[in-house]
């Protein structure tokens, strides 16, 4: 065909989202770091599913309307850096097609180039060897080859071919990919989207492989209504390369971090779960990374609750200031609240909150001036995107770009309601620079990174985002990490222990460290965070 209308584009986009869904576990597996929370595939899947949901029942024949509607869904559902960048690609794509009824080969190529431009502008420090490289190189060739009377199928084949070739080259641009012998996960996800789009264009529309999960996602991935859902499912564990290793305690703790009334029954390889949550789509996607469902049931408990709550909130007078922080774990939640945080956005490494989650938090804060603390490098872009699109002229929301929990704590402690918004921003932002951060978690595979041999099941010391060592015990790993972070200027070390560690165990390690570093003060806090045994901050 020489051009496409809105109906064809709709099928292409939904097919692309479905193809990504069918392959997201293998994209998760491309994560370079052997941590138990490499969720690029999940993040991109949830982002695309949010866009697909918006156009699923649309009958528009206008290609610009479908592109804009899809983009808006992606924008709101975007989570993780890969998800936000993908949403920006399709934002630029939609901007170019805005006033068009149909699109020919040249229109589509120019739209993808514009998507590339918008995505690059959205990233403060673009890194080559990522999804950005894939869209840049593929769209450039597509634009060079496109002719007005060319078939859409042929130009799209060129786009996909060049995207695959670009993806193969990503390890040459990022040494860490080459060392791990993998391609970029975000780029791989984008290729899957393009594959699904081309398949639909050629009459081979791709369906989701799990119908029950698809239906659950349709009902829950849009977070416009923060309502409670009763969720039941039966999961059969699968020992496959595309599934994560199942550890009961961590699985239950993640569910408890995102739900109430959690009941888990395990019988051999079959798991029965019953819980109540506001984010069932998150729960279903997370559980699916361990096996296959034999039953899923989701019930909306209070369909009219949000409307009434919103009406009440609108009548309240706005406060002057509010702080929003991302946190996971009851101890960490309470710590941030004690420091003056008004709203906690639940999430972290294991499950990244979406742009819409932050928009909901900003509205709930009901303040004129709001500081947002992402507390995770993979959440900063979603939080920033929320501040950019908030549609209230009376609200000034800005992100303090905290990339770790210790940075977020330090920034929060610097807030002073007696000084101006700009002064607070500078003080809180500068506080981040004075903190060195580390964490400890377990390895999910054997590998070698930056000269460090990683053994599956052992504990890794991560200092300033880099794995510096791997030990068999938590205590040895913690001692290594703290020793690495402390220098001659260090005065205070904050150690936050998670649910897998204990106060007594950590106290013994601290006594040993106090003898080793007599001039340093150690502050022990209970965080209850899952997956990460320790967060460490050094000031």
Whose structure tokens read 């309307």? 65
Residue 458 main-chain phi, psi, to 5 deg: -85, 170
Q: Which DSSP letter does residue 175 get?
A: H
> Per-residue pLDDT for 220 more than 70?
no
* Element at 463 (helix H, strand E): strand 459-463
Same domain, 387 and 461: no
What is the rounded average pLDDT of the residues 77-85?
91
Same domain, 10 and 132: yes
Per-residue pLDDT at 137: 97
Number of other residues whose CB lies within 10 A of the CB of residue 11 = 21
Same domain, 62 and 136: yes
Q: Which CATH number belongs to the domain containing residue 112 in this structure?
A: 1.25.40.340
Give the chain's mean pLDDT. Answer: 87
Residue 327 main-chain phi, psi, to 5 deg: -155, 155
Q: Which of 278, 300, 322 is the last residue of a domain?
A: 300
The partner residues of 293 in beta bridges, in order of sequence, read 235
335 domain residue, yes or no: yes
Buried b (16+ CB within 10 A) or exposed e, 434-446: ebbbbbbbbbbee
The partner residues of 265 in beta bridges, in order of sequence, read 272
State how far the Cα of 330 lies from the Cα of 295, in Å rounded to an integer. 30
Same domain, 112 and 195: yes
State how far the Cα of 374 lies from the Cα of 327, in Å rounded to an integer. 8
Per-residue pLDDT at 513: 94
Same domain, 315 and 328: yes
Q: Which of 300, 335, 363 is the last residue of a domain?
A: 300
Q: Which band of pLDDT confidence, cut at 50, 70 and 90, is reported for residue 221? A: very low
What is the rounded average pLDDT of the residues 238-257?
76
Same domain, 169 and 44: yes
- Sign, CA dihedral 457-458-462-465, equals negative
The partner residues of 274 in beta bridges, in order of sequence, read 232, 263
Indicate the burial class of 506 (C-beta count within 10 angstroms; 0-12, 13-18, 19 or more). Answer: buried
State how far the Cα of 213 lies from the Cα of 297, in Å rounded to an integer. 10
Q: Which CATH number belongs to the domain containing residue 293 in this structure?
A: 3.30.70
Per-residue pLDDT at 313: 44
Same domain, 251 and 138: no
Same domain, 444 and 532: yes
Per-residue pLDDT at 350: 59
Nearest to 412 by CA among 342, 467, 347: 342
Q: Which DSSP letter does residue 354 get?
A: B
Q: What is this structure's pTM?
A: 0.77
Per-residue pLDDT at 334: 93
317 domain residue, yes or no: yes
Higher confidence at residue 414 or residue 213? 414
Q: Which band of pLDDT confidence, cut at 50, 70 and 90, is reported for residue 216? A: very low
CB 196 within 8 A of CB 20: yes
The partner residues of 272 in beta bridges, in order of sequence, read 234, 265
| HSE of 68, CA atoms in CB hemisphere, 13 A | 13
Whose structure tokens read 């009434």? 308
Q: Which of 300, 322, 352 is the last residue of a domain?
A: 300
Per-residue pLDDT at 329: 87
Same domain, 330 and 290: no
State how far the Cα of 183 lies from the Cα of 190, in Å rounded to an integer. 12
What is the rounded average pLDDT of the residues 255-273?
81
Higher confidence at residue 16 or residue 315? 16
State how far the Cα of 202 lies from the Cα of 159, in Å rounded to an integer. 14
Same domain, 71 and 175: yes
Looking at 342-453, list the stretches that DSSP marks H as alpha helix, in order from N- to C-terminal side. 355-365, 380-389, 405-413, 421-433
Q: Which band of pLDDT confidence, cut at 50, 70 and 90, is reported for residue 36? A: low
The CA–CA distances, whole Å, from 453 to 34, 179, 181, 438, 511 equal: 11, 12, 15, 18, 29
Q: Which band of pLDDT confidence, cut at 50, 70 and 90, is reported for residue 37? A: low
Task: Write out the two tokens for 486.
Answer: 């402390």
206 domain residue, yes or no: no
112 domain residue, yes or no: yes
Per-residue pLDDT at 485: 96
Q: Which DSSP letter does residue 458 get?
A: S
Q: Which band of pLDDT confidence, cut at 50, 70 and 90, is reported for residue 304? A: very low
208 domain residue, yes or no: no
217 domain residue, yes or no: no
Nearest to 32 by CA among 445, 402, 353, 439: 445
341 domain residue, yes or no: yes
Counting the structural domains of the chain, the total is: 4
> Per-residue pLDDT for 259 more than 80?
no
> Per-residue pLDDT for 252 more than 90?
no
Query: What domain range includes position 21?
Result: 3-201
154 domain residue, yes or no: yes
Same domain, 261 and 390: no
Higher confidence at residue 255 or residue 501? 501
What is the rounded average pLDDT of the residues 183-209?
94
What is the rounded average pLDDT of the residues 412-432?
93
Q: Which CATH number belongs to the domain containing residue 508 in this structure?
A: 3.30.1180.10
Same domain, 462 and 482: yes
Residue 457 main-chain phi, psi, to 5 deg: 90, -15
Q: Which CATH number belongs to the domain containing residue 335 in this structure?
A: 3.40.50.510
Model pLDDT for residues 444-479, shown as the tens digit of each residue: 888 888 789 999 899 999 999 899 999 999 999 999
State how far the Cα of 237 lies from the Cα of 420, in Å rounded to an integer. 54
Nearest to 270 by CA among 291, 249, 297, 255: 291
């Amino acid at each position: 065909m020489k051009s496409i209308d809105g109906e064809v584009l709709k099928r292409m986009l939904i097919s692309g989202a479905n193809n990504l869904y069918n392959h997201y576990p293998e994209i998760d597996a491309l994560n370079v770091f052997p941590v138990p929370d490499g969720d690029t595939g999940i993040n991109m899947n949830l982002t695309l599913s949010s866009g697909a949901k918006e156009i699923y029942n649309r009958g528009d024949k206008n290609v610009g309307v479908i592109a804009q509607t899809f983009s808006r869904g992606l924008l709101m559902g975007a989570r993780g850096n890969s998800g936000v960048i993908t949403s920006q690609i399709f934002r630029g794509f939609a901007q170019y097609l805005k006033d068009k009824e149909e699109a020919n080969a040249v229109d589509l190529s120019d739209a993808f180039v514009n998507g590339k431009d918008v995505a690059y502008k959205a990233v403060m420090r673009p890194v080559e060897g990522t999804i950005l490289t894939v869209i840049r190189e593929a769209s450039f060739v597509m634009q060079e080859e496109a002719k007005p009377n060319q078939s859409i199928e042929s130009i799209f084949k060129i786009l996909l071919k060049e995207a695959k070739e670009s993806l193969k080259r990503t390890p040459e641009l990022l040494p860490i990919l080459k060392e791990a012998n993998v391609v970029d996960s975000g780029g791989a996800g984008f290729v899957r989207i393009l594959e699904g789009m081309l398949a639909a264009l050629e009459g081979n529309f791709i369906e989701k492989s799990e119908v029950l999960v698809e239906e659950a996602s349709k009902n829950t991935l849009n977070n416009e209504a923060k309502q409670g859902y009763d969720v039941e499912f039966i999961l059969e564990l699968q020992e496959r390369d595309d599934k994560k290793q199942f550890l009961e305690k961590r699985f239950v703790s993640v569910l408890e971090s995102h739900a109430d009334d959690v009941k888990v029954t395990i019988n051999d390889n079959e798991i029965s779960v019953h819980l109540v949550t506001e984010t069932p789509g998150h729960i279903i996607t997370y559980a699916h990374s361990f096996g296959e469902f034999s039953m899923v049931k989701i019930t909306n408990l209070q369909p009219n609750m949000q409307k009434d709550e919103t009406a009440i909130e609108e009548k309240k007078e706005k406060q002057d200031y509010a702080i929003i922080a991302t946190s996971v774990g009851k101890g960490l939640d309470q710590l941030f609240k004690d420091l003056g945080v008004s709203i906690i956005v639940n999430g972290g490494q294991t499950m990244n909150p979406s742009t819409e989650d932050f928009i909901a938090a900003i509205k709930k804060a009901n303040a004129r001036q709001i500081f947002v603390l992402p507390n995770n490098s993979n959440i900063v872009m979603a939080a920033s995107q929320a501040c950019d699109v908030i549609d209230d002229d009376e609200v000034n929301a800005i992100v303090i770009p905290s990339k770790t929990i210790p940075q977020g704590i330090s920034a929060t402690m610097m807030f002073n309601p007696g000084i101006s918004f700009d002064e607070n921003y500078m003080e809180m932002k500068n506080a981040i620079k004075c903190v060195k951060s580390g964490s400890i978690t377990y390895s999910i595979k054997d590998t070698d990174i930056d000269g460090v041999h990683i053994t599956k099941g052992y504990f890794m010391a991560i200092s300033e985002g880099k794995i510096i060592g791997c030990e068999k015990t938590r205590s040895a790993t913690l001692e290594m990490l703290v020793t690495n972070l402390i220098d001659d200027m260090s005065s205070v070390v904050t150690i936050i222990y998670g649910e897998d560690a204990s106060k007594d165990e950590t106290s013994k390690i601290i006594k040993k460290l106090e003898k080793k570093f007599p001039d340093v003060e150690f502050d022990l806090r209970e965080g209850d965070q899952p997956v990460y045994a320790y967060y460490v901050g050094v000031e």
